[in-house]
Every structure is written in C-alpha cells, then in structure tokens.
Amino acid sequence: MSVLRSQSGRSGEPARRSEPPAANRKRAKRLYALSTLVVAAGIIAYGAIAKPSGYWPYVIAAFLGGLLAIAELVSRYRDDPAGAVLSPPAAVYVVVNVAAAAAALYLLHVFNWTFGLTGAALNVTQVLTAGFGSAALFRSSLFNVATGDQIVGIGPSAILNVILTAADRAVDRRRADIRAANTAAIMEGFSFNKGAETLLAYCIATMQNVTPAEAKAVESRISELRDQKNKAMPDAVKSYILGLELLTLVGDHVLTKASGQVKGALLVQEETVLQIVRESGGTISLQQLRERAGLELSEISSQLADLRKRNLITVEGGAGNEKVKLIADGDSPGLAPQTPEPQIDNSADGQTSAHPRSAGAGSPASTPTTKS
C-alpha cells in the first residue's frame, strides 16, 4: 500500500504510467489533422454564409499555396511523409506559404496584372499564378548586394527564405530524432558485415517502384562503409547508417520485417556452418566446409570472421590448406554446448551470436586466408 501511495499520491490507486513517444506522436498527428479540418470547415462556412466579395479566389489561392508546401515536405521526408507534415514546424511552413499565396493574389489585384486577359480567364490565371507562383515571387530578389564573398539578395526573399529555412530545419531535426530512435530499435543485433547486401537486396525485392538510381545510392553507401578508412567504425554503427538509408527507401514497417527475417536467416546459416564442423569431428577443410554449406566465398568468409571474433572457431593452415577448427568447451569456457534451438545473445558489439560467451574467452587466432 505504501508503494502505491508513493507512486500515485492516492492510497490504493495504481501509479499512472507515462505514454511511449510513439503514442504521443500519434496523438499529435490526430490533433493537427483535426485542427486542420476545423479551420477548413470554418473558412468554407464563412464563405457560404457571409458571401464576402472576392472571397473565394483568395481561399483557392491560399489552398494551392498550402498544397505546394505540403508537396515539398513530402518530397523531402519520404520515410514518413504524414509524420513530417503533421508536426508543429511543418504547420509553420505551410501557413507561411498559404499567407504568401494570398498576399501574391492581393498584389496581382493592386497592380492590375491582367496578363492580357479578361473575364473568367483573368480570374483563373491570377489565382493559379498566386497559388503556384507565390514561391517564385516572394523567394526572388529585387537586386543583389555583394558582401565580402557572399551575395545577399534584397527583397521579399530576405525574410521569407529565413522563415521557411528555419521551419524546414525544425522539421528535419524532429524527424532526425524519430529516425535515430526507430533505426536503433530496428537494427539492434543486425550484423552489417554479414548481412548488408542481403538486407538491401531483400528490401528492394519487396518494393515495386524503387528506381535503379535509388538502389545504386544505397549500394554506394555500403561500399563506402566497407572502405578501409571506416575500418575502425563499430559494426553496430554501420548497421544504423544502413538502416537510415533503407528507412528512407522503404519505411520503418518494411525495414522492421525485412531486417528481422534476414537476421533469422543469417542465424540459421551460422548454425549450419557450426553443425557441419561438429559433424566433421571438430575440424574440416575450408573448401569442404564451403561446398557442404553451399555458400559463396564472401558469405563463408564473413561467417568465419564473425565466429572467430566470438571465439567459437579458429582457422589454421596456409593458403589453399586452411582448416576450420571448432574450439572445444574446455578451451573456451564461455562456449555453450550444442542445443537444438540456438540461443541469441545480443553482445556488446551489437552482433547476434548463437551461443553465449564470456569476454576474453578462447585464444586468439590467425586471420583466415581464403582461396577462390
């Protein structure tokens, strides 16, 4: 009873748990969507009841300006467009564009820009120009001034660009926070060294409209992470970077399912390699292991490298005569005996292991040399 009282402040009532961030974000999205609908309904109702002169052209122009702003946000934040649009910074970005469109139509009327048209054609042209052309009008400069090595634009862009850039950066920072948290949770325990190319290929296969240029960009990032200059980067961090790239391409739901399935397949592949070595009496040639496992040279090399890091095997012998040897239980105290079901150990280095181990267990082994 004392515990309940200290947590809730009222005797006998359970403590109130804080809602997770995801629930808060969903609630915020619903709130912004509802607010938008209420404002739109109010604007339409006012126009229908009061019927002010020249009202609807401004409403349509403002709507087009807001639609253009939303399209810009959607094109920039492709992993979760709805989450980006339904956020406070995005609301500022859209409202500024809406106001710019209405102001552009007002200027068209004040300066009587007719474009050589009359009647309904003039009204439609002015509305379309204000709605879709306000960005070009207000983001342009009347003249430029050279200040040192920079060119400063003097005109409406001096103010509007600052506001829009600040709002866009705020949206970006908000999305970065969410993306970092989601990616860390999704890619936890995923081995970049063993599964980067496999996960990319699987994610691309699940999608139907991924362009070759988009796939090539992720392949280039993988190659960059495998470069010698990034050798000191932890495998877990490389996995996070890969996850961020794929998050933009396929979204968090697809990435969650794909990464889980690939991790499971890699674990089964790893257990297959260990089982073959066990069935061979604890020692087998690299060539025989590769043939029996049915793996490519790059696949077997990455598997052996990971198993060696965790002191499960050693690779002995020279080029062309490599022997893969299973470390006996007596040689490696942290090595668990064979079990029907693999036990996943999320170790400190972010890799998924099929057997529990203790730090520093086993003896160091030489670097394996493979011959294709």
* DSSP codes of every residue in 90-134: HHHHHHHHHHHHHHHHHHHHHTT--TT--HHHHHHHHHHHHHHHH
pLDDT above 60 (res 102): yes
Please check whether residues 235 and 332 belong to one and the same domain. yes
- Look at residues 111, 140, 174 and tell me which one is the last residue of a structural domain: 174
157 confidence band (pLDDT: 50, 70, 90): low
Please check whether residues 197 and 265 belong to one and the same domain. yes
List the single range of 39-48, 132-141, 318-327, 356-365 with lowest mean pLDDT.
356-365
- Look at residues 115, 148, 174 and tell me which one is the last residue of a structural domain: 174
Please check whether residues 191 and 338 belong to one and the same domain. yes
Answer whether 0.85 is exceeded by the pTM: no
> Residue range 218-227: average pLDDT?
94
User: Two tokens at 71?
Assistant: 């399209």
Bridge partners of residue 147, in order along the sequence: 150
CA distance 224 to 218: 10
Please check whether residues 132 and 169 belong to one and the same domain. yes
> Residue range 294-300: average pLDDT?
78
Q: How far is CA 133 from CA 39, 66, 115, 144, 154, in A?
A: 24, 12, 14, 21, 19
181 confidence band (pLDDT: 50, 70, 90): very high
Q: How many domains does the chain have?
A: 2
CA distance 339 to 337: 6
pLDDT at residue 50 in the model: 75
Q: Is residue 362 part of a domain?
A: no
Please check whether residues 104 and 72 belong to one and the same domain. yes
pLDDT above 50 (res 359): no
Nearest to 304 by CA among 296, 227, 312: 312
- Convert the pLDDT of each residue in 22-78 to its tens digit: 566 667 667 777 777 887 788 888 777 877 878 899 999 999 999 998 998 898 888
Share of the chain residues as helix, strand and coil, in percent rounded to the nearest 5: 65, 5, 30
Quick one: angle between helices 252-279 and 235-250, nearest 10?
Answer: 140
Q: Cα 165 vs. chain centroid, distance in angstroms?
A: 22
Q: How far is CA 130 from CA 98, 106, 155, 215, 220, in A?
A: 10, 9, 18, 38, 42
Residue 202: give its domain's CATH number: 1.10.10.10
CA distance 189 to 345: 9
Q: Is residue 60 part of a domain?
A: yes
Domain span at residue 198? 187-353
Annotate 319-371 with DSSP letters as a single string.
TT--EEEEPPTTT-TTPPPP-SSPPPEE-TTS-EESS---TT-S---PPP---
Nearest to 247 by CA among 192, 191, 186, 173: 186
pLDDT at residue 316 in the model: 86
Please check whether residues 164 and 257 belong to one and the same domain. no
pLDDT at residue 328 in the model: 63
pLDDT above 80 (res 320): no
- Locate tokens 């992993």: which residue? 79
List the single range of 52-56, 134-138, 203-207, 243-247 with lowest mean pLDDT.
134-138
> Residue range 348-358: average pLDDT?
39
pLDDT above 70 (res 126): yes
Question: In degrees, to the nearest 5, what angle opens at C-alpha 337 toward C-alphas 332 and 340?
Answer: 150
When the pLDDT of each residue in the chain is averaged and rounded to a whole number, the result is 77
